[in-house]
Amino acid sequence: MEKREQLYEGKAKKVFRTDDPELLIVSYKDDATAFNGQKKGQIADKGVVNNIMSNIIFGILADAGVPTHLVKQLSDRETLVKKVTILPLEVIIRNVAAGSFSKRYGVDEGSLLAKTVLEFSYKNDELGDPLINDDHILALGLATERQLAQVRAYAFKVNEVMKEFFLTRGLKLIDFKIEFGLCDGEIILADEISPDTCRLWDVKTNEKMDKDRFRRDLGNVEETYRAVLDRVRA
Q: Mark the segment that binds ligand TMP (CB under 6 A) among 22-30, 49-57, 169-177, 201-209.
A: 169-177
177 lies in the binding site for ligand TMP (CB under 6 A): yes
- In the bound complex, what is the minimum distance in angstroms from residue 99's beta carbon to ligand TMP? 2
82 lies in the binding site for ligand TMP (CB under 6 A): no
One residue of 99, 122, 142, 163 binding ligand TMP per CB under 6 A = 99
- In the bound complex, what is the minimum distance in angstroms from residue 217's beta carbon to ligand TMP? 16
213 lies in the binding site for ligand TMP (CB under 6 A): no
Q: What angle do CA 32, 33, 35 make, to 5 degrees?
A: 155
120 lies in the binding site for ligand TMP (CB under 6 A): no
Distance from C-alpha of 67 to C-alpha of 59, rounded to nearest angstrom: 9
55 lies in the binding site for ligand TMP (CB under 6 A): no
175 lies in the binding site for ligand TMP (CB under 6 A): yes
192 lies in the binding site for ligand TMP (CB under 6 A): no
194 lies in the binding site for ligand TMP (CB under 6 A): no
Query: What is the binding site for ligand TMP (CB under 6 A)?
Result: 92, 98-101, 175-177, 196-199
